[in-house]
Amino acid sequence: MHLAIAGGVRALQFVISLTILAIAADFIRHQVLGDAPVTTRYSTFTGGFGMLVCGVGAVALFVTSIPALVPIALDGLMGLFFLAGGIAWAVGLRGTGNCNDPVGMLGNQLLNRGSVSTDNDVYYGIIEPDDDELAVFNKLRGACQRGTAEEVLQFIAFGAAISLIGIGYSTWKRGTSMGSRHPAV
């Protein structure tokens, strides 16, 4: 029973991690001016690390030579990374008015694809020469919604990591109290 639940949560965690990585990579790919913000680059790390930990955890479900505490420790580390990523996105998206404040979104480095200040003006990577205000607003709103999804997915991944720790711990405790070795979760 624990193996099926752990396998399902690991599969969900893998899909969430892959989605986090894909959204962050899309933000980086569309960065026009300067380097992508640290929060975005960190999200590529959390997504990749989450996928790696899910792979190790999946192998540990079937290979009993891996100590049960290894995936539990990796899940704990993964959970901390996802929590930090979610907090970073939550802080970074402040002032966007629930993706309805065009000025707040335009000034937000996570959303505006970079900016360059000159003596007279500020240029934003998200604004193309033929864009009208509505086109810019729609691009900003789309970026803001993807950023909000990134934030939420980081917190969901944190919750999944906590559940994997609980499942792994209960399986480990049950295995040690019975005197036998159960597979890691």
- Give the pLDDT score at 172: 80
Q: pLDDT value at position 137?
A: 97
The SS3 call for residue 124 is strand
Beta-carbon count within 10 A of 181 CB: 13
Residue 77: Cβ within 10 Å count: 13
Place of tokens 């200040």: 117
Of the pLDDT bands very low, low, confident and very high (cuts 50, 70, 90), residue 53 is very high
Report the pLDDT value the prediction gives residue 179, as an integer from 0 to 100: 46
pTM for this model (two decimals): 0.90
Closest to 96 (Cα-Cα) out of 142, 30, 59? 142
- Given a cut of 50, whether residue 24 has pLDDT beyond it is yes
Average pLDDT over residues 57-74: 91
The whole-angstrom separation of Cα 164 and Cα 147 is 26
- Residue 183 clears pLDDT 90, i.e. is over it: no
Tokens standing for 167? 């499942």
pLDDT in tens, 112-156: 999 999 988 999 999 999 999 999 999 999 999 999 999 999 999
* Residue 4 CB-density burial (10 A; 0-12 exposed, 13-18 middle, 19+ buried): exposed
Helix axes 2-29, 38-62, angle to 10 degrees: 150
Lowest average pLDDT, out of 7-16, 162-171, 172-181, goes to: 172-181
Decide if pLDDT at 175 tops 50.
yes
The pLDDT value recorded for residue 185 is: 60
The contacts of residue 10 (CB under 8 Å, 6+ apart) are 54, 57, 58, 61, 164
pLDDT tens digits, 2-12: 788 889 999 99
Q: Is 12 helix (H, G, I), strand (E, B) or coil?
A: helix
Question: Which residue shows structure tokens 């036998």?
Answer: 180
Question: At residue 180, does pLDDT exceed 50?
Answer: no
Reply yes or no on whether the pLDDT at 66 is more than 80: yes
- Residue 132: other Cβ atoms inside 10 A: 8
